[in-house]
Amino acid sequence: MTKYSLVALAILGAQAAQADVLTIPNESGFSGFVMAGVTAQEYQSNFFKGDKGEAKIDSVFQSPSHESSVQPLLGADLRYTFADTRTQLFLGNLIQDAVRYDLAQQFGVRQQVGTYGILSAGYVFSAMPAKTWADPYQVGRNRSKTDYKTQGARFAWDDIGGSHVNLAYTWRTSKVDSERSGEQLISLGQLTRDEANLLDRNGNLHRVELSYDWRLQQDQTLTPAIIYKRADLDGKAESSDTTHLQLTYAKTGPQWSLVGNVFGGKRSYDEANPIYGKKANADEWGLNGTFFWHQLFGVDKLSGVLSAGWAESNSDINFYDTEMSTFSAGLMYSL
């Protein structure tokens, strides 16, 4: 789904100036970072509620309205390394995932396997559920809000055989606490129960990512990636296949660092939405950049962080169009 918040854009690339985070340290102990800041958002979505969201709509054919909000931002990548066994426990949003635009929260373990690379497995969860509408298509009265959550597992193989190639697979369940899509239209006789069932947003989410870390210079890395996502949901009009191409650039230095992402791709749905009589296929793209100023106020491990991002999904059904832009500022402390 592209209908939930991209608020975590501000942590993309965090700690990029540190030593290569794909490796496991040679000394036991804690590592990672914690950060805090503020994020300003402007978004358009008929599905994502956010802090505000338009509770009442007049037509299922209208494009989403503009909304804005300001929110606190918290982020962390906490690790403990057992150097003798080349094992590392982690909690939070791993940096090597964040810079590749995977914003999942995880708790898991990484294991160095000789020269074969690093294997990892983790439990993936939503630290803060997103807010959506129980029946997004309800018109003429205030829509009821509900939570949208995901959880599952992620498996990854980084630096496969020393090749700088990375492979990751994530499985998650998609859960809308109170799923009532199309209920009002059933009561009005405009949809049958079977047709409304095509709009069910609960089910399974799959993501496969293949990437390559290309070292341009000692302080610069370019990472192309191809990402395939499968939404295998109970509602076939909400089930989809998505393919994205993504490019990540990182430049690191002792005083400042910069990380940027750009991505684009297509989303194709399995069946037509019964309300509109066609599929909600979409073109999707986005970009973001994060800038770090290290040794802030003369504190060795403290960095200032500025981040800006924009993403859009342009659907064949105007009601499904989604756009979000963010600007974030914060402080990051490395452990």
H/E element holding 265? strand 256-269
Q: What is the mean pLDDT of the chain?
A: 88
Beta pairing class for 66-82 and 87-92 = antiparallel
Whole-number Cα distances in Å, 48 to 3, 4, 102, 295: 5, 5, 19, 38
| pLDDT tier at 184, thresholds 50, 70, 90 | very high
| pLDDT tier at 103, thresholds 50, 70, 90 | low
pTM of the model: 0.90
Average pLDDT over residues 260-281: 96
* Angle value at C-alpha 233, between 228 and 234, nearest 5 degrees: 165
Fold adopted by 7-334: Porin (2.40.160)
Counting Cα atoms < 13 Å in the Cβ hemisphere of 45 gives 28
Q: Can you tell me the distance from the alpha carbon of 326 to that of 187, in angstroms, rounded to the nearest whole number?
A: 39
Q: Is the pLDDT of residue 155 over 60?
A: yes
Whole-number Cα distances in Å, 187 to 58, 106, 153, 236, 298: 17, 41, 39, 21, 64
Nearest alpha-carbon partner for 258 in 99, 73, 102: 99
pLDDT, position 55:
87
Tell me which of 49-53, 73-77, 214-218 is least confident.
Answer: 49-53
Q: Give me the residue spans of the domains in the chain.
A: 7-334
